[in-house]
Amino acid sequence: MRVMGIDPGSIRTGYGVVEKIGGGSLKAIAYGVLYTPASRPLPERLHKIHQGLKEVIMAYKPEMVVAESIFLARNVRVALSLGQARGAALLTVAEFGLPLYEYSPLEIKQAAVGYGRADKSQIQAMIGILLGLSGKLPPPDAADALAAAVCHLHSFRLKTQLTTKH
């Protein structure tokens, strides 16, 4: 099973593709960050997010996509910008007809790190361990996207086990 995680942002959008392989272990297929300079007009940045995610989907062919659910932001301007970037990402997913799953930041951190209030460096380190990434750790936004995919693979497996036992 191949899952793509997305960590949307108007300046940095992280993505990560994870596959469940033999024995239930997980493997990172691809990950990275789409950078959209704040100096560029918002429509141009949203288009770049859309195009970048489209290329990732076409290249790695995930079966489903996971994104963080909306959270409360203290700054309205930041929340609006994040919402627009998230909208561009979700539109791209819909364009491919892929199923979309959403988890809260707390659920993703809990699944990936075991602690719902983990910081970015803890997520990076644990994702590196869980996915056997040797050497350089993924950038924080890519690690968050990989963590979303890992969260879904763990949750999907549990949900499948629960429904098949009844």
Catalytic residue, from 7, 44, 63, 119: name it.
Answer: 7
What would the pLDDT profile of 86-136 be if each residue is shown by its tens digit? Answer: 999 999 999 999 999 999 999 999 988 888 888 989 999 999 999 999 778
pLDDT tier at 26 (50, 70, 90 boundaries)? very high
Residue 144 appears among annotated catalytic residues: no
Residue 141 appears among annotated catalytic residues: yes
Residue 134: count other Cβ atoms within 10 Å of its Cβ. 7
Residue 75, CA distances (Å) to 7, 32, 78, 82 in order:
18, 26, 5, 11
User: Whole-prediction pTM value?
Assistant: 0.91
User: How large a percentage of the chain has pLDDT more than 90?
Assistant: 69
Amino acid in the structure at residue 42: L
Catalytic residue, from 44, 102, 119, 141: name it.
Answer: 141
Residue 44 appears among annotated catalytic residues: no
pLDDT tier at 71 (50, 70, 90 boundaries)? low
Question: Rounded distance, CA 112 to CA 166, Å?
Answer: 27
**What residues are paired with 16 via a beta bridge?**
5, 31
**What residues are paired with 5 via a beta bridge?**
16, 66
Catalytic residue, from 44, 55, 63, 68: name it.
Answer: 68
